[in-house]
Amino acid sequence: MTTHPPNDSLRPTSRRRFLQWLIGGALGLSALAVARATGRFLTPPLTGEQPQPVTVPNPALAVGGRLYVAEARAYLLRDSGGYFALSAVCTHLGCLVDERNPGFQCPCHDSRYDDQGRNLTGPAPRPLDHLAIAWTHEGDLVIDPGLVVSAEERLSPVS
Ligand code: FES
């Protein structure tokens, strides 16, 4: 009669260890997923770059129109007073706001702004920045994302 050594993998202690390892691994992965999601929530996608002036070729917005200018991280808008530019950088923690109709909404913590960039709800502590804009001789419009101006400033359309 042949006797075989007991199979360690079938022992209750081995199964218990395997289950402990499996549960520990699942908990560890869950903790990593939660930590990653929390980190993304708390750290918005800011880049350290200082944006440079951006030229928008011959913008022809109707009153009430708007145009997102990605290179400037800004919206170019026109109201009855003329053209103005709003920074798309949320004043809470710097995420880029999305267009809504009306206004804008931050995807990070749900701050909302009206069409003039005034903060309405959410954690944003102040309105979106209004950015300097100017016409070139060629009829193009330059947005300077590094220069904040008064919310009342408007640029008349070129005739
Ligand atoms: S970054 Fe927090 S609401 Fe926009």
CB distance 92 to ligand 1 below 6 Å: yes
For ligand 1, pick from 109, 112, 128 the residue to mutate: most ligand atoms within 8 Å of CB. 109
Give pTM, 2 decimals: 0.71
Residue 17: predicted pLDDT:
81
Residue 15: predicted pLDDT:
75
Residue 19: predicted pLDDT:
79
Give the containing element (helix H, strand E) for 83.
strand 82-87
For residue 133, what are the β-bridge partners?
143
Give 91-147 pLDDT, tens digit per residue. Answer: 999 999 999 999 999 999 999 999 999 999 999 999 999 999 999 999 999 999 999
CB distance 69 to ligand 1 below 6 Å: no
Q: How many CB atoms neighbour CB 1 within 10 A?
A: 2
Write out the two tokens for 132: 């300097």
Instruction: Of 140, 50, 41, 42, give the one whose Cα is nearest residue 87.
Output: 50
CB distance 106 to ligand 1 below 6 Å: yes
For ligand 1, pick from 95, 96, 113, 120 the residue to mutate: most ligand atoms within 8 Å of CB. 95
Atom of ligand 1 nearest to the CA of 110: 3
Give 27-82 pLDDT, tens digit per residue. Answer: 777 777 766 666 555 555 555 667 799 999 999 999 999 999 999 999 999 999 99
Atom of ligand 1 nearest to the CA of 123: 3
> What three-state secondary structure class fits 111?
coil
Write out the two tokens for 32: 């990593």
Q: Where does the pLDDT of residue 7 fall: very low under 50, low under 70, confident under 90, or very high at 90 and above?
A: low
CB distance 124 to ligand 1 below 6 Å: yes
Euclidean distance between CA atoms 144 and 57, whole angstroms: 14
Nearest CA to ligand 1 atom 1: 93
Whether the Cβ atoms of residue 139 and residue 130 lie closer than 8 Å to each other: no
**Mean pLDDT, rounded, of the chain:** 86
